[in-house]
Structure 1
Amino acid sequence: MKTNGTQQEPGIDRRTFLKRSSLAVAGTAAITEFPFVITSRAEPDDPIRIGLIGCGGRGGGAVLDALGVATEVVYPREGYHTETVKEGAAVRHKNVSVIALADVFPDRLAHCRQNLARVGIRVPDDHCFVGFDAYQKLLAIPEVNYVILAEPPHFRPRHLMAAIQAGKHVFMEKPAAVDPPGVRLVMEAGRLAKEKGLGIVAGTQRRHMRSYNETIRRIRDGALGELMYGTCYWNGGVIWVVERRPEWTDMEWQLRNWNYFTWLSGDHIVEQHVHNLDIMNWVIGDHPIRARALGGRQARPPGPTYGHIYDHFAVEYEYANGIRVFSQCRQMDHCDNLVGEFIAGTKGTSNCQSWIRVKGGESWRFRGDEVNAYEQEHLDLIQSIRAGQPLNEAQAIAESTLTGIMGRESAYSGKTVEWDTILNSNQRLGPEKYEFGPLPFPEVPIPGRYRLS
């Protein structure tokens, strides 16, 4: 994949990974602690009527994945990537439709609407909503029973809870939140969803891949013996950036350039590296109890365009059973790229995805056919809904998100951060009121000066 001219690891990024994979019939059961099962396409029984909140590149791609529409990703020189319907593509998933759209910006909504029209889905004007309250209007439509949340991460906890309260099943993009109060709200929404019999699946698509499921099942069954340590990486290039236009207020520009502001994205250790941290929590079967981190902003160009987030982090995570995980993530061009995970045990090692090497014993490699994980995560949720056993990944994505936040806050402050401290923190990021106008953003966090509130 190329992002702004930077070559990244193939087969990893959210919207290019496995795009060419066939949606083969799957048969690998997930690890018991995680309640989904990789399945074939759901039977065309109950209709799924989608409402999309957040119509940018990520949301536009997610809704097409839910429909089973073949797409291609376009990366402009500047600005966010978009997904365009491939010529001749059609909706493949039966009894799945899109009936409502919501976004802060009219142009984002219009582009998504045009993509849907190319495959014969026409969302009526009275089901298209714009503005900060657009999500509320969409959730008020009784016919919507499946909501996709693809707005900037800051808004997801509030929108998730509102959707669950409205009785909707939810697919939410990752990460789940950007701050501890948001994480706690996601956990609360997950508990409410269980009470109401509603499903929640997150955009940590590796959990819906056959290769990861089969490999981690074997690790959890003892193939590596007692686990000792792990490493995980998302070292890649600089991602898309949106240059400011004179007519945009501070709020509009930050919303459009949201990756570069911690209150909107959580910084890249939360927004992007959450994929790898999620795998480590999954393999170990727990979340870390503390983090010690370094990080900084060394290579990002000066000026406001790239916001105030860091460009590199290195974190040592300690788990209750004594396991250490060493984590790296970086967004710098012209450097070596590495995206993936690794775990070592008393009997051997594994990349957590496709191979297990046993010292003095029989090694193993995944040789099955892979699914398109971006479609499969929707199919798994849809089938679970139709089967009356909706999946609920809220707690897992909340813990993985908080793992990233804990590492970020340790790097920002230069202090060791404990799990219970960060979980119970009242540090809330973002403005008190959402409106277009002035919105200054903080300076780059300086360790030793920055304080976790």
Structure 2
Amino acid sequence: MSSPIRVGVVGAGFFGTMIASACAGHDSFDVVAVADPVADASQRLAEAHSARAYVSFTELVDDDTVDLVVVATPNHLHAEPAVAALLAGKHVFVEKPLGIDEDSVGSILAAARGARGRLIVGHVMRSFPGVRRMVAQARRGDLGEIIEAAGARRRVVHLPDDPGDWWKLDRRRSGGELLHEIHELDLVVWALGEPSEVLSMTGAPLAHGEHMVDSDIVTELRTPSGALGRHSVSTSAHRAEWWFRISGTEASVEADFRAGTVTRYEDGLIAEVTGVFDLPASDESLRESAETAQSYNTGGPGPLWMRTAVACELDEVAAAVRGTSTTLTEHPATAALVAIRANTLAAEAAR
């Protein structure tokens, strides 16, 4: 059995706490260090895992016992610790999105070129077993020539009664809903590859904390082969949808995450139905979650399907560090750059 990968977590907030706990429960990882500028938060999380506590990410990056640096800061603060860790030769796992503007994304990519460590991005839905099988079918040619990939996450999101100055509700720090909820857009570009053209439209502005933001965003892509990508995200849709589809000339496969199913269609007929996860109980948890009001997760371990998803993601992170998987390392920045471009186009159109 391989030695555990020694983890240093930068950021002791919700995601840092969640990922540290998940790593501690995974055979491949050992949490050895935590860094957060809020000393009490750093100390509290470090003590929970018998790890060292730092107030500066530079101290953590300089710690020779750390193999993998997990960047779990708010979205606008990803670049500095990621760049520092890559330049120090560490493996780096950055929570999605990689960055919220071209400069931050570009600086991380520049540091990753030729680095000893691997750049791993937390596009967790790539690690869902059913999604991996969908993409594998497309790449093997089992669907014929790929003509479309599409995805959507549309629901009403209920905000906390008193969100205060919560960074997730400030697009200057989160990048906006398209970047913060980038999962399905990432699946589209993971299936299709680099696009040659990006179009975007936003609308339905609603109050989001202290800010007014567009609650409905539609993005379309074209690839050099002519295949099309379509993506939609909404925080105000009472008819909820959550799905991802790849269509080819011979067949289509579609994951319905609210139903916990992956369905293959041939000539308009259902040819096969399998699960999103390999555990039926996790698929049932998806169905149960679909029946509850949707809100941003602000604490707690989450439902079974979410815990299963994180475990699958950590399997892929460990495989990436050990050089046996590229699921979370290929196209690390494509989705972020597409979303940044889409946000820019939408802002220009709104003027």
With normalisation by structure 2, the TM-score equals: 0.81
Aligned to 2:344: 409
Report what 1:292 is aligned to: 199
Q: Distance in 1 between matches of 2:85 and 2:212?
A: 31
Residues 205 and 212 in structure 2, CA contact (< 8 A), matched pair in contact too: no
Counterpart of 1:347 in 2: which secondary structure?
Answer: coil
d(CA) in 2 for partners of 1:146, 1:223: 36
* Local SS of the residue matching 1:176: coil
Moved over 6 A (4+): none
1:50 aligns with 2:7: yes
Q: Evaluate the alpha carbon distance shift between residue 338 and residue 362 of structure 1 in structure 2; reply closer, same or farther with a 3 A threshold.
A: closer
Query: What does residue range 30-429 of structure 1 map to in structure 2 within 5 Å?
Result: 43=1, 45-68=2-25, 92-93=26-27, 96-106=29-39, 108-109=41-42, 112-113=45-46, 116=48, 121-123=49-51, 127-130=52-55, 134-193=56-115, 196=116, 198-238=117-157, 240-241=159-160, 243=162, 253=165, 257-272=166-181, 274-284=182-192, 286-300=193-207, 305-332=209-236, 335-351=238-254, 354-359=262-267, 363-366=271-274, 369-370=278-279, 372-385=308-321, 387=322, 393-394=328-329, 396-414=331-349
CA distance in 1: counterparts of 2:264 and 2:187, whole angstroms: 15
Q: Distance in 2 between matches of 1:200 and 1:234?
A: 26
- Aligned partners of 1:390, 1:282: CA distance in 2, in Å? 15
Change (3 A) 1:242 1:158: farther
Match of 2:291 in 1: none
- Gap runs ≥5 in structure 2: 256-260, 283-307
Is the 2:12–2:35 Cα contact (8 Å) retained in structure 1?
A: yes
Paired residues of 1:262 and 1:308 also in contact (CA < 8 A): no
| Local SS of the residue matching 1:151 | coil
Counting aligned pairs with the same residue, the percent is 21
More strand per residue: 2
2: CA distance between counterparts of 1:244 and 1:234?
22
Inter-partner Cα distance in structure 1 for 2:320 and 2:344: 36
What's the secondary structure of 1:101's corresponding residue? strand
Looking at structure 1, the residues matched to 114 and 30 of structure 2 have their Cα atoms a distance apart, in angstroms, of: 26
Moved more, 101-110 or 156-165: 101-110
* Alpha-carbon shift at residue 391 of structure 1 (Å): 5.0
The structure with more radius of gyration: 1
The DSSP-based 3-state class of the residue aligned with 2:114 is helix
**Contact (CA 8 Å) 2:316, 2:328: kept in 1 or not?**
no
Question: In structure 2, what is the equivalent of residue 441 of structure 1?
Answer: none
CA RMSD of aligned residues (A): 2.7
Q: How many residue pairs align between the two structures?
A: 318
Question: Match of 2:207, SS?
Answer: coil
What is the TM-score of this pair, normalised by structure 1?
0.64
Q: Distance in 1 between matches of 2:119 and 2:136?
A: 22
